[in-house]
Amino acid sequence: MSPKVTEIASDLFRISTFHPEFAIQFNQFLIADDEPFLMHTGMKKMFASTLEGVSSIIDPAKLRWIGFSHFESDECGALNEWLKIAPRAEAVCSFVGAVVTVNDFADRPARALSDGERLSLCSDLLFQPADPEPWTESDVLGRARESIRQNLSGPLANDMPYTPYTDATLNRLAELNPQTLAIMHGSTFRGNGREQILGLASALKELIGPKET
């Protein structure tokens, strides 16, 4: 599997590999600056594909930061492979993630983020199936909403939890007023990110939130 590399914003690159078995894209995002940052490592078995994509942009040994939003194989399965080839690289995650999981899993200690520190990428939010275009300025909320609706009657019906914190968390993200949403599974969105995130919050509340009695 060879990746498709697209510059979706200045010095922000999307590295996308379509996996036919799962029928979805797995996207990593590289910020190519003085301290290069990779968001998502990809699965361990997909390391060669991700490495190929990163190597087409920068020397992978210069990678400085590796981020992911939660502990899952497509988010950080290849973390130790990256730590081996990038001697200055550090994983970046939440304090709970570092203490509970990552510091045991990773070959080097993680950098735990404090509340309010930002990683300006949005990971699994606004999931879109299949192999869509690298980026779009059209609405992605409709695709994501339909995917959630379809999953309600399938084997992944409970893959997205809804908690008392969901609405407040999405509202905090929306207030950042992002202009680019780097989506792990699906097209990157360029435009009014606040509107898309608030729309997602409404869709989640309607489709999987608590029902009034």
Q: Are residues 11 and 99 in the same domain?
A: yes
* Pairwise CA distance, residues 174 & 194, whole Å: 4
Residues 89, 8 share a domain: yes
Classify residue 118: in a domain, yes or no.
no
Asked whether residue 155 is domain-assigned, the answer is yes
Residue 123 lies in a domain: no
**Same domain for 107 and 58:** yes
The answer to whether residue 184 sits within a structural domain is: yes
Amino acid identity of 188?
Answer: T
Q: Judge whether 119 lies within some domain.
A: no
Q: Of the given ranges (86-90, 117-121, 173-177, 203-207), which has the lowest mean pLDDT? A: 117-121
Relative orientation angle of helices 193-208 and 166-174, to the nearest 10 degrees = 170
Of the listed ranges 40-44, 116-120, 207-211, the least confidently predicted one is: 116-120
Q: How many domains in the chain?
A: 2
Last residue in a domain, options 83, 113, 143: 113
Q: Given pLDDT bands bounded at 50, 70 and 90, which one contains residue 211?
A: confident
What whole-number percentage of the chain has pLDDT above 70?
96
Per residue in 170-185, pLDDT tens?
Answer: 999 999 999 999 999 9
Residue 147 included in any domain: yes
Mean pLDDT of the chain: 92
Asked which of 113, 145, 171 is the last residue of a domain, the reply is 113
Question: Which residue range(s) make up the domain with 105?
Answer: 4-113
Q: Check whether 194 has a pLDDT greater than 70.
A: yes
- Are 104 and 10 part of one and the same domain? yes
Q: pLDDT tens digits, residue range 142-165? A: 999 999 998 888 766 667 778 999
Residue 122 is predicted with a pLDDT of 67
Across 83-92, 118-127, 202-211, the highest mean pLDDT is recorded for 83-92
CA–CA dist 113, 180 (Å, integer): 22
Would you report the helix, strand and coil content of the chain in percent, each value rounded to 5?
35, 20, 45
pLDDT in the model for residue 23: 92
Clarify whether residues 194 and 105 are in a common domain: no
For the segment 2-54, what is each residue's pLDDT rounded down to a tens digit? 899 999 989 999 999 998 888 999 999 999 999 999 999 999 999 999 999 99
